[in-house]
Amino acid sequence: MYLKLAWRNIWRNKRRTLITLSSILFAVVCALFIESIERGSHDLTVENMTRFHTGYLQVQDFRFEDEPSLDNSFYYDPEFFGSIEENVEGIEFTVPRIDGFMLAAGEELTRPAMVLGILPGREQRLNGLVDRLVEGRFFNEGESTAVVSQGLASRLNVAVGDTLVLLGQGRFGMSAAGKYYISGIVKLPLREMDNQTIYLSISEAQWLLSAEGYITSLLITPESAAQVNILAEALSQIFEGTEYRVLTWREMMPELIEALEFDKAGTRMFMAILYVVIGFGIFGTILTMTLERLREFGILLSVGMKRMKLAAVVFIETLLISILGVLSGFGLGLFLIIYFNINPITIGGDGAEYMLDMGFDPILPTAIAPDIFFYQGSVVFLITLVISLYPSFKILRLNIIEAAKK
């Protein structure tokens, strides 16, 4: 009976109900959208860093992390690691790499560069590297040509068809020098990598660096990002007693984790301010609704309706409005989140430069995750629920004679 009375009461004055509903809906949509943008930008940053730089999991020589040198590379046995890839549950595929820093020279300019020896097919599967070509073509495995990142090509003033000279030090102090035809220019999403990366086929890079058969890291891509820690533990047990060490992306990029946590702290502070604004906005609508109905409450009490029953009906009214507002916010919020997930917001000007310097793409995609809806919906619902107690307390302390005169 109380529920039926409450439902009828909230639609007696549609305008008042819709105003209250819209304030809750706006609160839910704002909270969802802000949280979704933050989560989406963080997910994009992690994805770019893992796919183009470290991988989700990486197998290294146990000395490599403390001393990232070619001297601490390890022999890549395709048979051994192939059996692990096939037999360990949760591994989607593996990507071998060898890397080293060298001087890269064009016709007039010289710049430091990171030389990455790769298997093009594996890299394409990992990060779609071949699709990021802006000019020329990608080499095939074993081909003695180079693909240069767009930022480095600009710094060296070189283009497709030019010759690139690489000078440096190979494994165990061996001199490393090579001259390569530039077959392609590739645009990388991470500015730091885009300004310094040169790709060679893995066999060519091993020859150049006097490290035939050796790699510096084996990237392991899990079937799901949620399996990273489980997979790391399983591989650590397999490699126990060997010179191999398994690291997760979190262990390899503590600076990125700190930057993301700092960004999250700023968002939490902003969300706390938003919750206060939301709370006062909802309270304003509930207060107005209550003051408009004081005469109605006074008349109901004067004809014999018990205070507790009236307070319960009014509380159920506000509870129903809260539920409708949160569900409406979910619907509109989901539509906006899906739209901006497909069409991310692009940042230009100085804001784009700042984000690139921080290692973030200058776009704001949204993330679609159930926990965002649960958390933000719960917070707004609890705020509304607490505020909904005000009309009930007002009824319990209401002076019937004064209310009936209003």
Cα 326 from Cα 329, distance rounded (Å): 5
The structure tokens listed for 38 are: 């933050």
pTM of the model: 0.71
pLDDT one-digit tens code per residue, 232-245: 888 888 888 888 88
**48 to 3, 53, 230, 355: CA distances (angstroms):** 52, 8, 22, 14
Listing DSSP states for 6-55 in one string gives HHHHHTTSHHHHHHHHHHHHHHHHHHHHHHHHHHHHHHHHHHHHIIIII-
**pLDDT at 93 (0 to 100):** 87
pLDDT more than 90, % of the chain: 18
For 63-114, write each residue's pLDDT tens digit.
887 888 888 889 988 888 888 888 788 888 889 999 989 999 988 899 999 9
pLDDT bin (cut points 50, 70, 90) of residue 302 is: confident
Assign 355 a pLDDT band (cuts: 50, 70, 90). Answer: low
The mean per-residue pLDDT over the stretch 364-386 comes to: 82
Q: Which two tokens stand for residue 297?
A: 């409450």
Cα 50 to Cα 60: distance, rounded to the nearest angstrom: 15
pLDDT for the residue 279:
80
User: With contact defined as beta carbons under 8 Å apart, do 290 and 390 qualify?
Assistant: yes
pLDDT surpasses 80 at 28: yes
Q: Please, what is the average pLDDT of the chain?
A: 83
Give the integer Cα–Cα distance in Å for 26 and 38: 18
